[in-house]
Structure 1
Amino acid sequence: MYQLFRHGIFQMDAEKAHDFTIQCLKLASNPLFQPILKSLIHAPKGFPKTVMGVNFPNPIGLAAGADKNGDAIDGFGTLGFGFLEVGTVTPVAQDGNAKPRQFRLIEAEGIINRNGFNNNGIDYLIENVKNARYKGVIGINIGKNKFTSLEQGKDDYIFCLNKAYNYAGYITVNISSPNTPDLRQLQYGDYFDDLLRSIKDRQAILANQYNKICADCGKNCTRFNGK
């Protein structure tokens, strides 16, 4: 079955094949189809791992880039992954680089991707994460928009961090993609120091958010800050 499916997929343009696969997995997210898919998949069991305080059901995960917009979280989850990293996502939607931008390396069984952070924006992705039934760990990979200057780049990351914080098992800050002009400059010098400091400062604030709750619901209600 795999060889037949692979042959059909390889008759398609690489990016169209990827989009088709996402749509199939999105369909597989439907509760009516999930039992069928699960009967065909032998998902890994056991081998839980705890990394940096995050508990992963198993150490096999899906890397960012496969499901940029979180359209097929439940479909990928049915395949048995212990974690899914969705994105890279930017503050607002962008088209990415000009097509064609994905190229198969058939003999090496690989692919070259020059997408350039094409995605539907952080709000679209967060809605998909909120609606997902997947019980594993969801990581969210964040980046900056192509036309955001390096000087303002940290603002894009902070914007996405604020949006993603309450819905992600972990957050990846993507400053390594070669497909966004000058993005890698954020890895060096003052750009890196400023970005890291801003992210850590904002993380500290988000981690210490609190809600006021009523400790005594009698007449003399005392409120305290529960962290």
Structure 2
Amino acid sequence: MTVNLQHAIDQLRAHARRDLQRFYAPNHYFGRDHSPIADYKLTVPLLQSSATNQLTVREIAAASALKDLAIYESCYRKIWKDAKLVRDTTERDSGELSESDNREIYARLEMFSCSALCYAKVIGEPNLIKVFDQALPTVKITPKNENTLNGNDVETKLVQNDAKEYKHTRNPWLVRDPNDPEPEQPWYIPARYFARRLIMKDATLLNKHNLLAKKVLYSLKNMGINNRGGKMISDLTTIKKALTNVNLG
């Protein structure tokens, strides 16, 4: 993780906690100021469908970013802790993680960066917008000749391809899933992307079509994604149409 990214994460955490301070007691973070568990326990109840009606748009964005940060940090710490246990009993390089570990960190950071970028745009912090728009995890891959890749190296090649694709687009929501039906409008692609991300966080949204459409609409607005001609997307029926016949999870 770069110094700039860590600094941006610290800033985002401070902003989010300040925006959510009316929801937690003064001693909530006592003794665990840097604990992702404290952030997770604060934000998960706030993002339940029954509670979101009490939150402002800014508070929802703050809670989403803080929750995804907690998940990312917990995952990151656990992977490195487990890797240390392995290194204590082997001759493994102290800086090495497996491809599957790197892939997991990559996915969690991508998810967090997406919600962090949304929040940064809501609060209008240009520096945070810039950092999270460019955030890319460090994926360490052992160089291999593609001609010599065997069945056991399939995962390595997948991670290499994923990293290459991500570098080519800092906006993964603009990349069409090849299994999706042809989009009638360009914004269908990001709508489907955000729908999948939302369902990854809350699988119950698969059966809550109205709520899912509302959350997708919120994501599109935060990212400044509009209809043809620059018109703002506002119809939930249209959002649902974009998700029709699409495998969301």
TM-score (norm 1): 0.26
Larger radius of gyration: 1
Q: Is the strand fraction higher in 1 or 2?
A: 1
TM-score (norm 2): 0.25
